[in-house]
Amino acid sequence: MATTTVFAGARVVLPTGTVDGGRVIVEGTRIAGSAAPDAPVVDVSGHWLVPGFVDMHTHGGGGGSFSVGTVEEILKAVHTHRTHGTTTIVTSTVTDDLDVLAQRAGLLSELAEQGDIAGIHFEGPFISPHRKGAHSESLLRDPDPAEVAKLVDAARGQARMMTLATELPGGTDSVRLLAERGVIAAIGHTDATYEQTVEAIDAGATVATHLFNAMPQLGHRLPGPVAALLEDERITVELINDGTHLHPASLQLAFHHAGPERVAFITDAMDAAGFGDGRYLLGPLEVDVTDGVARLVEGGAIAGSTLTLDRAFKRAVTVDRLPVEHAVQALCANPARLLGVDDQVGSLDPGKYADFVLLDDTFDVKGVMRHGEWVVRPELG
């Protein structure tokens, strides 16, 4: 029989709101709806208890890369993010040769099948050379539906999302193919017009890859993709809330227009997340990380982030002054829904995995539980 433990006294954030002095019951790997009267009780008073974070866009961490790392390095990166509260993670690749990406998808799919990761996000190579960011221009290509299908097939049912510049030849047809295959078509690294973006949304795109970054900015005569992505209720917008990728006013603008139900905080993290400054590789490109900011050695473009989701959460509620419930929605429920795993994670409902984060009153991580096991064991009195 599975062991039952009651965690009591925290401010528990539920889909219906925050409960002061609430209880979360863990039975084995799952959250339970009730417990026996003699079940052990752990006092977590003075803490926030929130669902485990879900990151649907990240490239690595802890010194390990999801694009080029060994299995050991990938698992080290996954563990690094778990210690910062991310209990569900999708591994993102960067632009490379198509055969290399297919091979990498095969390796990552094995980890997904084992339950170590929640799937694969292909960011590139089907993106615009005009908005390439930290992607190798020589390896970029138009989104041929046959090549898109090759990568999806290589992922063996574990492809969760693909970022496309949908205005390129084959872009709209590729969006349709992805939608038919149950893979999220994300608009990003794009030079699309407003009208082209609307066309892609109508074809089945549902996510904006790191909104505002690597796309034309909002204009009063040429509104571009930002306006189309914010106004359409079918689109969820990714935001990198690290203080480098977005000004607080831009974040507030996104929340105002999209609402908390259409925002997903991501890290877009590279190897240096949770590891430190230095020189790294992002795919084939060299990156220098200085004071936690990652930039390409050649050209100086921002190259992902060193963010972890606990920092994104803390910044959201302390700097951006978002309600805790809205931050939880953006870090947990929304990405879980998009990934199709909201029956298992994303909230503290009974029946779901016992994935949660304990935060102190300054919103620093004090404990992380995943599937009923401590990743970070809290020091409780």
Annotated catalytic residue: which of 268, 320, 342, 355? 268
How far, CA to CA in Å, does 187 sit from each of 133, 138, 201, 287? 14, 21, 9, 24
Distance separating the N- and C-terminal Cα atoms of the chain: 28
Total residue length of the chain: 381
Token couple for 168 = 């390129």
Q: Give dist(CA 337, CA 324) in Å, integer.
A: 19
Residues 298/93, Cβ–Cβ less than 8 Å: no
**Exposed e or buried b per residue across 12-31, where buried means at least 16 C-beta atoms within 10 angstroms of its C-beta:** bbbeeebeeebebbbbeebb
Q: Which residue has the tokens 């480098």?
A: 244
Tell me the one-letter amino acid at 78: V
Q: Give dist(CA 332, CA 348) in Å, integer.
A: 10
Residues contacting residue 22 through CB under 8 Å, at least 6 positions apart: 8, 9, 10, 11, 12, 14, 49
Burial-class residue 209 by CB neighbours within 10 Å (0-12, 13-18, 19+).
Answer: buried
Q: Give dist(CA 182, CA 89) in Å, integer.
A: 18
342 in catalytic set: no
- Catalytic positions are 268
